[in-house]
Structure 1
Amino acid sequence: MAGGFGKRRFGIGIVGAGMAAKPHALALKALSETVAVRGVYRRDAAARHAFAAEYGFPEAESLEALLADPETDAILVLTPPNARADIAAAAARAGKHILMEKPVERSAKAAADIVDLCAAAGVTLGIIFQHRFRDGAIRLKAMLDAGDLGPIHAVTLSVPWWRPQEGYYDKPGRGTLAQDGGGVLITQAVHSLDLMLSLCGPVAEVQAMAGTTGLHAMETEDFVAGGMRFANGAWGSLTASTALYPGDAETLVLACEEATATLSGGTLTLAWHDGRRERIGEAGEGLGGGGADPMAFPYHWHERQIADFVSAVTEGRAPRSTGRTAMGVHRLIEALLASAREGRKVQVRRMLSEIDGPLPAGTILRFPGGHPYEPIVDFMVVEIPGGEIGLAVASGFHAGRIPQILPAEASGVGGQAPDAQWLAQNWQHWVWPACAARDVEVLESRAL
């Protein structure tokens, strides 16, 4: 297992060095006082040599050599999504922590497999979502957490980007299910969707349309529009496209009780209901990768995220963006595309093992049953007189029985609601031992 760094620098090995590698390389150079690049591995030897020479990094002749280095504490995976599962499995077996470009994999199921194998191996899995590390996003997150803006009532997200056919989608594998897993949602808008979820909480239900415009010849979608209903009751809308020449900055608008917050690129604008106006964040960032050049943005957001990941591993805490938190955006994209494909509203799946934080009273946990007469069993989180918390059977033959009281350590800090990760790790002893934790679905609250 990697760890015990002592006074040496944290060692990172780079796997893959394609289009997305430049901001990572610049970020690692900026962090050179605390982080050492132990080697760069790419199957194309000429491309590997050129990349390593450009940034002054050592080369690794193989993935195995990189993982065998005792001073490689983590690997930074920059390959296309279809190449990541085997790399992650090898790194986890070697006890190396993993920082991986988005998305985790091409599908929610494949992503969950990687998240599970890293958890089983006890290695940290971080996912690159650098939009969380912009100044405006950091400030907005802090204000929402502090309650300064009040509840969120409505959300709009627009990702009006442009990618040309020639030089982008004409490249082998681009915009295909086999390599990328999808089009604009999982490759481009995934950053903004992840940021939206980190600020607004999970989406409960979606209804969407998706397709490919006449501007591109590609297998997957380049235009998506839809409506969203958030678990907290807020309503939302989404438009995402790579067909909107010349491309513009993505914009997220949150209509809150006290103010409307607008994140456009890296700039936060606050329109307070009392008439005040505030502007926070970086100016002159251009399109942030929204135009024809996907890499037209500064590397400082990557620098902040890599620094957070290194600190998290060193301190034994979770980084701000993990494989588990990334599952939320995978589930949302899965629901949006299913809705577009089937022409109906779709519930966004939320799995117990993928949730951080407390589960309020009324939350339903759906367990695949182990009995032919009860293939599905629902449990509800309930408050018990006297301040205790418990789980009550909410469906099937035993519905309404006396709740099973959970131990005191099940409760999140300062609350009477059970902590989701405690339940994910301990529910077998208290509830229903006939299924895997990743198969337990968290449904919206309802009356018992």
Structure 2
Amino acid sequence: MTPEEIEYAVSAGMPRAVEDLTRLVAIPSVAFPGHPEEAVHAAAAMTEELLRSTGLPHVQRIPVEGSFPAVYAEAPAPPGAPTVLLYAHYDVQPAGDESLWRTPAFSPTLIDGRLYGRGAADDKSGLISHVLALRAFQGRFPVGVKVIIEGQEEYAGERLERFVERNPELVRADAIIVADTGNPAVGDPAVTTSLRGLAAFTVEVRTLKEALHSGSFGGAAPDALAALIRVLASLHDDNGDIRVPGLPRGVFLGTGPSEEEFRATAGVVDGVALSGSGPLADRLWASYAITVTGLDVPTVRGAVNAVQAVARARVTVRVPPGSDPSAAAADVVGHLRRAAPWGVQVQVTDQVLGSGYLADTGGRARSALNRAMKRAYGRSPRDIGSGGSIPLVATFAKLFPAAEILLFGAEDEEAAIHAPNERVDLQELCRTAVTEALFLADYAEL
């Protein structure tokens, strides 16, 4: 197919792709404990249906121990052609506080060329971009194609890592496209070359056998919530820089956003300073970051006059590429224990680890991607980092050191992934699929 034929085929397939994405987003496929498992399995079934619609001759759901099924598909490579693995995930984050959504989280709504709903961007857009690109070839693929779509990336994705480590030949490829990132802004092409890793855990502070009346015991009984607040506050200095020993700053060899761009994208309230110091690219993509992502304490509405016996927090540490997430977790936990006042009991549970990734940007696949993206967007892409983590990427890099891993997708910095009012720009979805299809054709010629 010529580039013009590919562009036409992808554009012609957009109405069907938007219908598919709308149906997929309507499935609340939250793979977190406590959410209905039926919806996750329904999303797996629809993923299988979508991959079959591309003309791939082999499609199947694969059980993953302790997790939801992955969906796998493949087509053999034409003689002499390379093989490309395509990755995305069909599970999504929980909706969170529904009152903060302008449209219902699982009732996908099209507004001004953008589809709103949980997972519309992260990462059901990645799945649909693969489907849209593959459909353009009508079953006559220029390269060997393998597809693996994960069912529990947002929660404990390391389970698929173990599966892949035990079955490396299933996903072995010359190049790997991970459609779970995006551009700094709509229409601003970029390739993600750096991913921070992850270390997350729950910290519990206990001071009493049970809560006590604050009027009778307050002033002498140690308050677990006050102790937890002091412990968490010790993680950062007054400027917002990390105080934990052993977590040095890093340097990102590329251009990051300006402070004005970042403030606008992040929605920082006027008069509020950004956290930390140094270049934003270093802070966002090459250095450690520590965030308290949840608290188990009495709500304001349900509060009673009591000294709390126990309080918990979920702590997430973003780990620079090349650094050990296990060591980072140990450093942070050690600091929290040292900072605990009054001899309170500190317990750490539910630890999750994921490694970061730093790409080699000079290979044949990357050159083909640069050409494809320049044609789709009208300009060449730039390298960016991501503060997030995709656990499987580091596993791919370890198992297949000769394979080029290419991270791009239809998400953008204003897509509100993991937040209320998530959305995907449909033109960006089209450009992403055009890029992928052009890449497959170009890479086959190499």
Normalising by structure 1, we get a TM-score of 0.27
Normalising by structure 2, we get a TM-score of 0.27
